[in-house]
């Protein structure tokens, strides 16, 4: 049996500047994602860990460490009197695993499997939270935080797209507002609030919201005005500024 991939690659040419993705059927009839790269093909499972492995008998390393944490917090194992501490190797392995899920949710977005994107981005945000809380070194606690705005943006896009597929344009608008607010809050909590204005993630969600505006019902204008009033009363001036911009785009400011 030959293992030369030349015929497979010739039948599926690489297209520069595009994310070339397809969904195929595996040997057991299971769906499998393939991504055409310049030097070959990346293949991933649609469910479970992308490479199909089950570390320590769990669906992923993240699930393994979360189970350890549950055991500690609820006294379910011999580690119940200890604290979960992730050493350098554990954090590196979690980052490598998160990269697999990154490749998959990018491919799933191209395939418009928004539920899959939501699942994998939510999962990777849990990795960031776990490392931030339990990594042994400060570097491992913070090294993934630079990706939080991007993962949040991708998760928000998936949620908004799911809402739009259900013709829930108003829900999609609220989802986008919340995603933008979460990203801005991330920069503010990191003491980098000025970077929020230059954030490509914020710009992406704002552009998606602008494209959505013509599809919003008329009642949305009155709801935006009510939210603006409440944000001013609560002295949430940043949100008030965003809402004013939305009203201007709707012709209601």
- Determine the pLDDT at residue 80: 46
Q: Where are the domains of the chain?
A: 47-143, 146-191+199-216, 217-253
pLDDT lower than 70: segments of the chain: 1, 73-81, 213-224, 238-239, 242-243, 245-253
- Determine the pLDDT at residue 143: 94
- Determine the pLDDT at residue 169: 86
The 10 Å Cβ neighbour count of residue 49 is: 20
Residue entry with tokens 């799911």: 162
Query: What residues pair up with 33 in beta bridges, in sequence order?
Result: 23, 44
Alpha helix positions (H), the chain: 6-11, 61-74, 88-110, 114-134, 138-142, 148-165, 169-189, 200-212, 219-233, 237-250
Q: List, for residues 36-85, the tens digit of each pLDDT value.
A: 999 999 999 999 999 999 999 999 999 999 999 988 866 654 444 578 99
- Determine the pLDDT at residue 253: 47
pTM: 0.79
- Determine the pLDDT at residue 112: 93
- Determine the pLDDT at residue 74: 64
């Amino acid at each position: 049996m030959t293992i030369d991939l030349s015929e497979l690659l010739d039948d599926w040419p690489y297209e520069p500047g595009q994310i070339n993705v397809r969904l195929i059927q595996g040997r057991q009839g299971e769906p499998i994602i393939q991504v055409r790269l310049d030097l070959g093909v990346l293949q991933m499972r649609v469910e479970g860990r992308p490479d199909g492995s089950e570390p320590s008998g769990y669906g992923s390393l993240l699930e393994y460490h979360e189970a350890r944490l549950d055991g500690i917090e609820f006294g379910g194992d011999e580690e119940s009197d200890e604290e979960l501490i992730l050493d350098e190797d554990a954090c590196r392995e979690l980052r490598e695993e998160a990269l697999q899920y990154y490749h998959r949710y990018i491919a799933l977005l191209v395939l418009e499997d928004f539920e899959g994107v939501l699942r994998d981005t939510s999962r990777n945000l849990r990795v960031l939270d776990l490392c931030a809380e339990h990594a042994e070194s400060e570097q491992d606690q913070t090294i993934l935080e630079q990706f939080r705005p991007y993962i949040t943006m991708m998760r928000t896009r998936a949620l908004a797209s799911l809402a739009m597929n259900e013709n829930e344009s108003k829900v999609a608008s609220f989802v986008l507002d919340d995603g933008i607010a979460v990203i801005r809050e991330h920069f503010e909590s990191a003491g980098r609030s000025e970077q929020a204005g230059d954030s490509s993630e914020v710009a992406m969600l704002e552009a998606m919201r602008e494209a959505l505006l013509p599809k919003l019902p008329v009642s949305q204008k009155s709801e935006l005005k009510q939210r603006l009033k409440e944000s001013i009363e609560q002295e949430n001036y940043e949100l008030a500024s965003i809402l004013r911009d939305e009203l201007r785009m709707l012709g209601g400011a």
